[in-house]
Amino acid sequence: MAIVYIPTPLRQATGGRSKLTASGRTVKELLDGLERIYPGIRQQLCDETGEVRSFINVFVNGTEIRQLEGLLTPVQDADEVSIIPAMAGGLDEDNGGMREPGSGIRVRPDVATDP
């Protein structure tokens, strides 16, 4: 059984559990196994074609599976599989930022300080 680390945004699907054990010879089999126990989790991780969504990184023993064999990356007993949604963002192409409701873009002169 491999150990699977589930990040906070996906713990709703696992009843709050952050670490699971799952069996499978590949990452794909392991995700299939998780889906059987926690229906709906695969849809959060994979797109309609079955590929891992672009903003999701899956690590096997610390290496992202896109640098290995993707979903066919072999998984062995006691391997550590970590599922990590990306932390990303950026400016919009049109106006470079969203207008804050009401006041337009605002820049506050200072940070709130508690004396």
Q: Apex CA 93: angle with CA 89 and CA 95, to 5°?
A: 105
Write down the least CB distance from residue 53 to another protein, Å. Answer: 10
Contact flag: residue 55 with another protein (CB under 8 A): yes
The residue (of 48 and 114) whose beta carbon lies closer to another protein is: 114
Q: Which of 16, 77, 87, 102 binds another protein (CB under 8 A)?
A: 87
Which range touches another protein (CB under 8 A), out of 20-28, 29-37, 68-76, 103-111?
Answer: 103-111
Total residues interacting with another protein, rule: CB under 8 A? 34
User: How far, in Å, CA of 49 to CA of 89, rounded?
Assistant: 25
CA distance 54 to 61: 20
